[in-house]
Chains A and B, each alone.
Chain A
Amino acid sequence: MKSLLEQTLDQINSVILGKRHTVRLTLCCLLARGHLLIEDVPGVGKTTLAHALAKSLGLSMRRIQFTSDLLPADIIGNSIFDRNEQKFVFHPGPLFAQMVLADEVNRASPKAQSALLEAMEERQVTIDGITHPLPQPFFVIATQNPLHQIGTYPLPESQLDRFLMRVELGFPDREAERGMLLGGDRHDLVRELNPILTMENLIKWQEQVRQVHVSEPILEYVLDLLEASRRNQPAGGGLSPRAGMALQRCAQAWALMEGRQMVYPEDIQAVASSVMSHRLGRSWSEAGEEGMTAAERLIRSVPVR
């Protein structure tokens, strides 16, 4: 099983150069049945990553470019009157795909954003009183541009909590960038990718993630982390219970990817940054020191059990 996973990762890494850890986190998020938020400047390969992932996993993929005039119906679809049948027929929107890339999600109005986020949470769409289930598996990759914020609606923290992970791609290092310049066109590369995993495998692994053993000391460690994040915080600060569950689920997925049936503290730490950074309140991010992220500082403040 490990070899299949590793093969998938290798294939994606052949397109996205120098971002092994981020690619791994992306797959981890998918196995943990969560949605992913990629926050980065344009041109670092967010879209390519989503394409490569969808292609390698053999999933159907749709892309929605968020703009300020996007309407909810543009995402989820709408009912149109069919003259022949004399009734309204539902035309599903681009959301009805196994993998949805929501590009520049902060450009759209809050109304359109919340339509996406609700569908993400419930994995179904209700229109005209009729519930349409979304396909299985259902995985949303949303991207957000942190710069050029004029005329955008940044997602509020309460909405950010809906994303299991937030990752940053960042600029590649010199060596990777060199490889990129030498290599062919990324679009062509993505087109040539073959699906390695089947959907059945993916769903099976998603099942297995829940069965990875979380021992008593690990539970206590997660609780310690949550407790520490809330200490000395203004009311409502710190990690939510949902964040705790997310941390556990991601660590399970990470352990499974490492070929283990039990979670080690290192698994928690490996995913902690991506799971916690967008959930930790402003007070954590503001007190930055020594060039460490908020999540890193939190981890260093809690002893491993």
Chain B
Amino acid sequence: MPDGSRAASRERGRPLVSWLRDRHGDHAVSLSREQVYRLLGCFVISVMPQFGNIPLWLLLATAGLVLWRIQQERRESEPPSSVVKLLLGIGFLLGVYVDKGTLTGRDSGTALMVGLIAVKFLELRNRRDYMVLTFVIYFMSVTALLFEQSILVFIYVVICCGCLTVNLITLHSPGPDNTPARSAAQLAFRLIVQGLPLALVLFLFYPRINARYGFNLGSSTSGLPEKIRASSFDSLTEDGSMAFRADFPGGEMPPATSLYWRGFVLWDYNASTNEWQGTSPAQEWRDLTDTPANLVGGKRLLQRITLRAHSQRWLFALDYPAGSAWNGQGELGTGYVLQINRELHRKIQYLVTSLVDSHPLVQSPTMQRASLRIAADLIRPEVRQLAKELRGAGESDEKVVANMLAYYHKNGFEYTTKAENYGDDPLYEFLFVKRRGFCEHFASSFTVVMRLAGVPARVVAGYHGGEYNPYGNFIIVRQLNAHAWSEVFLKGKGWTRVDPTVMATVTHLPAPITPTARQAEPSNRISEALERKWTPDWLPPLAMEGRFRWQLVEEKWDQWVLSYTPELQSDILKDWHLERFSWEFFLLATIFVLFLTIMLVSRSFQRRSTSEEALLAVYADFCAALKNSGVPRYHWEGSTEYSQRAARILPAASKPILRFAREYALLRYGKIAYLEPALGPLREKVEAVREALTQAELHLNQ
């Protein structure tokens, strides 16, 4: 018999290639039912966060295929023929194409992947398929981050990857009856933790693909509508999802009365449809008067805004933004509107300075014309009559504004969030019949009447108010804070904000219940009323606090992880003088690192012999323990036979002896890639045998 060292050196000399070739035979080994079920489970949990993003028909079809696969497994029936699979695949392709209009991009890509993985499951028979599917599902679970990058989704994805890794480990352990689930989970955890530094380095330094090179990453579904008409805010009044978060690096908070987050300005009123629009002309029309220099009064305030993707071009800032947003991402346009040059498809963070409570003092003649333009003959005479009455005998513009507000007041106008039918002429209906509506009814009707009365006016859309988080000192603005208000140009004062919703109805709002004193101030009451709908007042203070704390965690996540944009990265690389390294350099570096990794991995396979020696040492321990109890091993005896004989002779310790032997035989003769993690538990089992033997001996002596 060759001695141990010779065998060890033989083992050590085996190159990786031959090892891989040996492994190749594994691919034909059929899979156990549990393994298939586990992979199906991983698939289901990794699809779960995508439920909202995948068309319903595809989800149902996928569920059907998964059930079919389970049925196959239970009946041990044959997989469907390749024609069926091909047809299913083509069906999914066509379905997604019809549904989404394209096969590329985030939404169709993900949907297609889910469907095709389900088809692939139908032909899952051997280890090779299993490995392929596992890696595709790894990718699948990561795609959830293309839709949402919140910390919860991130944690969920990590958990999915953990499950898949546990699955891979159990696939490579000897048999379904011996899946040391706990040690597999421990090993998976260790692998993931060991991978963290590498992930961090890649995250910080590996150049990002700057997204959206003709690649549609999809769009968020909610946000301010581009046109404003009677029902355009309907969907937003109930929508508690976050629009953006603002914090104030300068340390100074804005007064609660000034929480008007300016979005965009609407210039054109279409009387026949009762629609406001005008963002697009505003782009072409650069008015040089709208510069920070023309703002008078107000207090300078720096904001940092983390804006969710909304698929549109505008950025938000407190009235009035006085400068470009950080990094030149947003430019100040006509009407003091911050715009970026492309649609926003991912979360961004920017710094912007506003002059809070300031006024733009002047306006150009073009703007004057635009803010008075109205097709008066398309408007009902009652409305025109109202405007005439407001002007009376040549009252000043200020007086006209006050009269209009008084009109709302006198006639008991009410703010409501319930959608109502306003008939053919919503403007007339609102002003003279219903007398209740959303903010856009107020802003729209007010602006129309102002223009009819000859006062330059425009509608501004944005957000109003927000939820103040006392722990993180930031404000969260949600979709339900969406708001529209008016601005009128008064001689000597410049553009002045008039919020008819608040000014006309303030007495009709119920007294707010406020978690913080800051929000108690009157002008915040609308958002307050909305806020209460979303956060019921019966919510206990502890939950309230938990919510605030969680928002804080999310804010840190945004600040430390999501705000690390490609732009910031390239800045950092420049700071470190790495900018001259092109992508070729990084490609070479990647190849080099991969090469190093393969070297290290092949070394670890050579290390297997040392862990094998450790395994034999544990076995020698076990034999020594039994020999001490009077049962030496014959050299021709295998471990199973020996332990069975020993268990018969030493019945008191039979259980631990057999347990050890079962485990040892699996490790020694089974198909195991990594022995090390199993050695610890095995040593414990030897200890258990020793203990049982000692106990038995004590018992005998007594």
Chain A contact residues, CB within 8 Å of chain B: 208, 211, 213, 215-218, 220, 224, 260-266, 269, 299-304
Is the CB of B597 closer than 8 A to any CB of chain A?
Answer: no
User: Nearest Cβ distance between residue A98 and chain B, in whole angstroms?
Assistant: 23
B414 CB, min distance to chain A CBs, angstroms? 75
The residues of A that contact B669 with a CB separation of less than 8 Å are: 213, 215, 217-218, 262-265
**Chain B residues near A220 (CB-CB < 8 A):** 2, 7
- A261 contacts which chain B residues (CB < 8 A)? 29, 174-175, 670-671
CA distance A304 to B635 in the complex (A): 6
Within 8 A of A (CB), among B14-43: 25, 28-30
Q: Nearest-CB distance from A162 to chain B (Å)?
A: 27
Chain A contacts for B670, CB-based, 8 A? 213, 215, 261-262
Contacts A213-B670, A215-B668 given; indicate if A299 touches B7 (C-beta within 8 A).
no
- Chain B minimum-CB-distance residue to A267: B638
| Least CB distance, A44 to chain B, in whole angstroms | 29
Tell me the nearest residue of chain B to A204, going by C-beta: B30
Residues on A with beta carbons closer than 8 Å to the beta carbon of B666: 262
Docked pose: A299 CA to B635 CA in angstroms = 10
Q: Which residues of A contact B635 (CB under 8 A)?
A: 303-304
Nearest CB of chain B from residue A88's CB, rounded to whole Å: 41
Contact A260-B175, Cβ < 8 Å, known A208-B30, A216-B11:
yes
- Measured CB to CB, the closest approach of chain A to B79, in angstroms, equals 14
Chain B residues closer than 8 Å to A301, beta-carbon distance: 636
CB interface residues, B 421-454, toward A, < 8 Å: none
Given contacts A303-B636, A304-B636, A304-B638, contact A262 B29 (CB under 8 A): no
Contact residues in B for A260 (Cβ distance below 8 Å): 175
Q: How far is the CB of B302 from chain A (nearest CB, A)?
A: 67
Contact assessment for A303 and B1 in the assembled complex, using a CB-CB cutoff below 8 Å = yes
Q: How far is the CA of A275 from the CA of B25 in the complex (A)?
A: 25
Write the chain A residue with the least CB distance to B7: A220
Is B640 in contact with chain A by the CB < 8 A criterion?
Answer: yes
Q: What's the nearest-Cβ distance from chain B to residue A304, in Å?
A: 5
A-binding residues in B (CB < 8 A): 1-2, 7, 11, 25, 28-30, 174-175, 634-641, 665-666, 668-671
Q: A269–B638 contact, CB under 8 A?
A: yes
B residues in contact with A211, CB < 8 Å: 25, 28-30
Known interface pairs A211-B28, A215-B671, A262-B174. Does A224 touch B1 (Cβ–Cβ under 8 Å)? yes
Closest chain B residue to A223, Cβ basis: B2
* The 10 A-B residue pairs with the shortest CB-CB distance in the complex, in nearest-first order: A265-B638, A303-B635, A266-B638, A215-B669, A213-B671, A304-B638, A300-B636, A262-B670, A211-B29, A262-B669
Can you list 17 A-B pairs with a CB-CB distance of less than 8 A?
A208-B30, A211-B29, A215-B671, A217-B668, A217-B669, A218-B669, A220-B2, A261-B670, A261-B671, A262-B671, A264-B640, A265-B640, A300-B634, A303-B1, A303-B636, A304-B636, A304-B637
Q: Is the CB of A264 within 8 A of B665?
A: yes
Give the complex CA separation of A181 and B636 in angstroms: 40
Residue of A nearest to B608 (CB): A216
Task: Say how far A57's CB is from chain B's closest CB, in angstroms.
Answer: 19
A95–B669 Cα distance when bound, in Å, is: 40
Contact partners of A264 in chain B: CB under 8 A: 638-640, 665, 669
Closest to A298 in B: B636
With A and B bound together, what is the CA distance between A224 and B28 in angstroms?
A: 29
Chain B residues lying within 8 Å of A269, measured Cβ to Cβ, are: 638, 641
Compute how far the CA of A264 lies from the CA of B665 in the bound complex, rounded to whole angstroms. Answer: 7
Contact residues in A for B639 (Cβ distance below 8 Å): 264-265, 304
> Closest CB-CB distance, A11 to chain B, in whole Å?
21
Q: Quick one: closest B residue to A269, CB to CB?
A: B638
A4 to chain B, nearest CB (A): 11
Min CB distance B299 to A, Å, is 76
Residue of B nearest to A207 (CB): B28
CA A57 – CA B174 in complex, angstroms? 30
Complex Cα distance, B668 from A279, in Å, reads 29
Tell me the bound Cα distance from A211 to B27 in angstroms: 10
- A263-B669, A264-B640 known; A302 and B1 CB under 8 Å? yes
Can you add 13 more A-B contacts, CB < 8 Å, to A262-B666, A262-B669?
A211-B28, A215-B668, A215-B671, A218-B669, A261-B29, A265-B669, A266-B638, A269-B638, A300-B636, A302-B1, A304-B635, A304-B636, A304-B638
Nearest Cβ on chain B to A256's Cβ, whole angstroms:
12
Shortest CB distance A89–B (Å): 38
* CB-CB nearest in chain B for A268: B638
Which of chain A's residues have a CB closer than 8 A to the CB of B638? 264-266, 269, 304
